[in-house]
Structure 1
Amino acid sequence: MITVGLTGGIGMGKSACADLLRQRGIPVIDTDVLARQIVEPGQPALEEIRQTFGPQVIRPDGRLDRKQLAGTVFYDPTARAQLEQILHPRIRQLWKSQLETLRAQTSPTLPLSHSPTPRPAEPRSNAPRSHAPHAPHAPLAVVVIPLLFETHAQTELDATLCVACTSVTQRERLRPRGWSDKEIDLRISAQLPISEKTSLANFVIWTEGSLDVHARQLDRILCSLNSA
């Protein structure tokens, strides 16, 4: 089974790409979902967060107050590092376990013999139009990891895919979330610059265009992975 890490800047199209992958019958593990699961009431990570950041980050119903916690960690790099030390090892353990389960459910296949040469997947003007979604020929699984390169998770995977767009488009997509420009700046600065992410990735999808353009780029990448 070929394992792929999907990453990109905040607001640059990871969720849209994950949806397209699911439409093609490809299993997707979303670490944002795992991050929410491990801080549910009764989970050890939630208690560790309470002990580290104080009872003010826990709501009266016992759930994590995400807004209160974000107001602490995004303004304090030390606090953010503390939170990451609590969450990241647990999240990695979960997605690795889920990958092993998927691997056990598929027939054995040889891993990629080499990492594909990094290149953007922006389609040419005469590229064939993608039609009905299709599953890849080889078993494939994707893990969505926003901080993939920051946490060096690429060492656990066969290939990496980064979605990217301009900073103008990124900010336009983030403003409807209700964040101020300063809050957007803080969240963007908490990750590697997108130029670094794209230079490290094996494949890049440019998400400035329509979803159809996004899908055509993705289909070409899947074909490349199938032929690796």
Structure 2
Amino acid sequence: MTRIIGLTGGIATGKSTAAAYLREQGFPVLDLDQLTHDLEAHDQDVIQQITAVFGPAVQTDGQIDRKKLGRIVFADPHLLKQLVRIINPALLKVIAEKTAPDWLILDAPTLFENGFTSYVDLILMVTCEPMIQMQRLITRDQVSISWASRLIGAQWPQRTKAALADQVVDSTQGKQKLYRELQRFIENLR
């Protein structure tokens, strides 16, 4: 039976780096962000529901324009919740269809915020120092400090997530230290 590890972490904390490492180690990884992108680009039911709530301006060439939609939902927590209510059922359907021989990694940055914790057997949280997180986000996404703060603020605080996780790994000191922590995590699974 497939067991699911919920891999989570705040934006720009190193979660994607951790997911890539786990994938390299042979774990199947289901990326919920990528799945959401795919649904918003190709799932007509999802596209129609989003358009009905947020208006036709969020579409470009028949697909949801994530930048336009992002500007709307990250400016208003209520609207973000409305988007989650549209996306979650479609994501849960895809998750239910996935199987793996042993462990499946559910790469879910908003695992807690979107209520996915009841679908996982184990929660692995990637964290880093808040100033490092801010610097990474500004550099990676080429955004202002205020927009980076808004994006970080749209998620639960790292310390809250870490307190709820089964295992926490830290990426503050770079990839090699993160990889060593992940390797210890893998060894404890087996």
**TM category, shorter:** over 0.9
Match of 1:87 in 2: 87
- Where do 5+ consecutive residues of structure 2 fail to align? none
Q: Specify the structure having the higher radius of gyration (Cα).
A: 1
**Where do 1:181-220 residues align within 5 Å?**
181-220=145-184
> 1:3: how far off?
1.8
Deviation at 1:78, TM superposition (A): 1.6
Consecutive unaligned residues in structure 1, runs of 5 or more = 107-138
| 1:5 alignment counterpart | 6
Once the two structures are superposed, the pairs formed by residues 23-102 of structure 1 within 5 Å of their partners are: 23-41=24-42, 43-59=44-60, 61-98=61-98, 101-102=99-100
| Identical pairs, percent | 34
Question: What is the count of residue pairs matched by the alignment?
Answer: 188
1:104-183 map, 5 Å: 106=101, 139-176=102-139, 177-183=141-147
Provide the secondary structure at the position in 2 that maps to 1:10. Answer: coil
How many angstroms apart in 1 are the aligned matches of 2:65 and 2:8?
A: 26
Checking the alignment, whether the CA contact within 8 Å between 2:84 and 2:114 is kept in structure 1 is no
* Distance change (3 Å), C-alpha of 1:42 and 1:155: closer
Whole-angstrom distance in 2 between the partners of 1:196 and 1:70: 24
SS of the residue 1:170 aligns to: helix
Paired AA for residue 18 in structure 1: A
Report the Cα offset of residue 41 of structure 1.
4.1
The 2-side partners of 1:204 and 1:80 are apart by: 27
Q: Which amino acid aligns with 1:207?
A: S
Return the alpha-carbon distance in structure 2 between the equivalents of residues 185 and 210 of structure 1.
22
Return the alpha-carbon distance in structure 2 between the equivalents of residues 56 and 191 of structure 1.
25
CA contact (8 A) 2:5 2:122 kept: yes
Counterpart of 2:166, as a letter, is: N
Q: What letter is aligned with 1:55? A: P
1-structure distance, mates of 2:153, 2:96? 27
Length-normalised TM-score, structure 2:
0.94
Displacement of 1:151 after TM fit? Answer: 2.5
TM-score, length-scaled by structure 1: 0.79
Q: Which amino acid aligns with 1:80?
A: L
